Amino acid sequence: MDIEGYCRRELKKGISEEEILTEISSLILKIKFNSDKDNKDNKDNIDNIDKAKLLAEAVLEEVKKTNRNIDNKFLNDLLNFPKSNVSMGEIGVGSRGKGDFFVHEKICSIASHNISGKFNNVVVGAKEHDDAGIVCIGENGKDKENEKKENEKFIVVSVDGTHSRLSEYPFIAGFHVARASLRDIYVKGAKPVALLDDLHLADDGDVGRLFDFVAGISVVSELADVPLVAGSTLRIGGDMVIGERMVSCVGAVGIINDANFIKARKNVRVGDKILMTGGAGGGTIATTAIYSGNFDVVPETMNISFIKACKILHEKNLLHKTNAMLDVTNGGIRGDAYEVLNLLNAEKDRDKEKIINIIEILNNDYEEFFYPSKEPFNVLISTILSQRTKDERTKQAAENLFKFISKPEDVLKCKIDKIENAIKGVNFYKTKAKRIAGISKILIERYNSKVPDNEYDLLKLNGVGRKTANCVLTFGFNRQAIPVDTHVHRISNRLGIMNTENPAETENELKKILPKDYWKTINYIFVQHGQNVCLPRNPQCMWCKIKEYCGHSLKEDGLKKNVSIKFYGPKIKNLINKKVYNMLKNLNIDYLGVSLDSLMLFVPPENCGEIIKILRNAGIEIDEIGEVIESKREGKILLTDENNNEKAIEPLFRESAYTKIKKVVGEQAPGKFEEMKKNVDKAYQDALKKKEEILKFIAPAGI
């Protein structure tokens, strides 16, 4: 019970100090002294009543002092955290679903927001959302550009929190959290070298819990041959929290001696087969078993099969035959697959940087399209003239034509051959002359001689496609749009930024990754670059300023693959411990959304047979349970059933409700989820600003 937090809330609500003191005293008596204010016959209890009152008064006094107004803005900002008005429970932090992933994305963004630019030795950092972090060190303890790769070493670190519901079962909590932390080290391809713990027990917790918890960690330490070397023990909230609740974590450190052994999630490749070892679950399954009365399932979770499998991969020199590894924990198979796909989608962030760099490089070489004026009719006609025609010819034709026309009525007063002669330099000039006349007639008859200011009506005009319509909206009406023609489509795909089949798809993908400030620019730059350098056939790569960004110039296919992950449901079921599976089934708990303590490997097809054979010979259950496939559309997680029927699955707002109280809380997103995300994002932005301000205060001359 957080009596400090309770006191703060009551004061904010305007509750009188007398009422607050009475309530806090009562809580302290009940929880801390296991008594109540009505029991006045016992001297010890009378002493406890007096002590509870003194404690309550001290709490109130301290809280009131912190509630003073601070005139100094810097101090005020320093001592107050950015408010989101969204609680942990509301948005599902720790519940391994969409709400949790959203918040952790913000946390990782703050952690990786490197203002000083010093951390160039991070191989796998917070922004990857991986199981563990990896930094590169050289002989002198830091990465050197001129250092030989054979001298590179990598330190891998992880930390895992104890399952919150195992506070009453410290040994089981210690065992499972230690094993989980080691799993995170192993799946990065590292050999663990040390464990450390951080144990927090509330003020009224029995000291015996400390010993039981560390004993649980020590069992894993002995079995895995990894020493527990350091730790800390503190009270939760000091004197301000009463009760017996325990919270804790265990960290692990590992070493990788060869960069080829790094098995980060970002190494997953299209075509990989997915192998998985058998699993009986960890803290989540143990919690489910205990709180549903299935105590016989708990011993099934007490094993080191996962660690054994990883050791075999090291000993048999199989690590280099896998691309990536992970443990099935973060929201189960469904959650882990979601995070892998998100990481592969994070390529879009790199694409964003890539395409912005490209635009900035080419921007000095190409000027905005020539339009005699930015009047919408002028832009419309000029864009029609430019179709399949080089800019210099378009410019000359437009100048000739606009000497005697400025509005639709002018066009209809002219003979068609006069228009043809004026625009003779452009391709298909006779067709375009008729098109200009036809469009002018429609504008007069249907739109009061005005060019429509929306895509729907523009596309009704003969000869106006999406590219022309977007040019009119962009250059004539100053609207946000991306005009995409064959050049923009071709170059975007050739660079490897996307893999789309037509300009419309390219437009949609560009809108996802390109900041709006660049929407107008990309068209005229890519069109001119496509006409002069990046030709449809025989592109002039030797003269291209952006060839370092281009897959085509590197003799690659240059196509970005959209990725889906496909799982075979029946094979996954067969790998789950039978007692565990039956318990989950009987309790109506989705096995795809809970931690299974299984090792998942992403392996090139040609290596699967060898890995499966060696692990099975060592007594490890393992099978091929899925594959990473190329998709034409946005990537999805797919699941096939016994009849080979396929469906798309995705994480819930809160992953599988594996206890009764979680079922009451629910798995679905609240109606105000989008609003909560906006509020959380605002708090995140405020936290970043605060970080920058404090850095400037401490080191005004720079770091």
Structure tokens at 448: 């009061």
User: Structure pTM?
Assistant: 0.69
CB of 308 closer than 8 Å to CB of 604: no
> Top-level CATH class of 368-481?
mainly alpha
* pLDDT value of position 571: 96
How are strands ordered across the β-sheet holding 646-649?
324-327, 599-603, 273-277, 622-631, 562-568, 637-640, 646-649
**Binding site listing for [4Fe-4S] cluster:** 534, 541, 544, 550
**Same fold across 118-262 and 368-481:** no
Asked if residues 304 and 581 have their Cβ atoms less than 8 Å apart, the reply is no
Using CA atoms, how far apart are residues 433 and 416, in angstroms rounded to an integer?
A: 7
Lookup: tokens for 314: 């090291």
- Give the DSSP H/E element, type plus range, for residue 201: strand 191-201
CB 256 within 8 A of CB 149: no
Give the count of beta carbons closer than 10 Å to the beta carbon of residue 49: 21
Strand partners, 279: 576
The three-point CA angle 618-252-658 to 5° equals: 75
Q: Which residues on neighbouring strands pair with residue 311, listed in sequence order?
A: none
CA-nearest of 83, 117, 75 to 685 is: 83
The residue type at 487 = H
Confidence (pLDDT) at 198:
94
Task: State the amino acid at position 186 in one-letter form.
Answer: Y
Which CATH number is 118-262 given? 3.30.1330.10
Structure tokens at 98: 């969409």
Token pair of 592 as six digits: 């795809």
Domain boundaries, the chain: 3-68, 118-262, 368-481
CA distance 391 to 620: 66
- The four Cα atoms 513, 516, 521, 524 give a dihedral, to 10 degrees, of 70
Residues 6+ apart with CB under 8 A from 284: 163, 594, 595, 658
Distances (CA, A) of 89 to 322, 653, 654: 38, 11, 10
Please spell the DSSP secondary structure of 615-639, one letter per residue: HHHTT--EEEEEEEEEESSS--EEE
The predicted structure's pLDDT at residue 143 = 42
Angle among Cα 189, 192, 195 to the nearest 5 degrees reads 140
Tell me the H-state helices in 332-453. 332-345, 347-362, 376-386, 391-401, 408-413, 416-422, 429-447
Facing residues of 649 across strands? 637
Place of tokens 């991986």: 130
Q: Which residues fall in the annotated binding site?
A: 534, 541, 544, 550
Supply 58's token pair: 């001290």
- Point out the residues of the chain with pLDDT beneath 70: 36-44, 115-118, 138-151, 330, 345-352, 370, 551-561, 632-633, 701-703
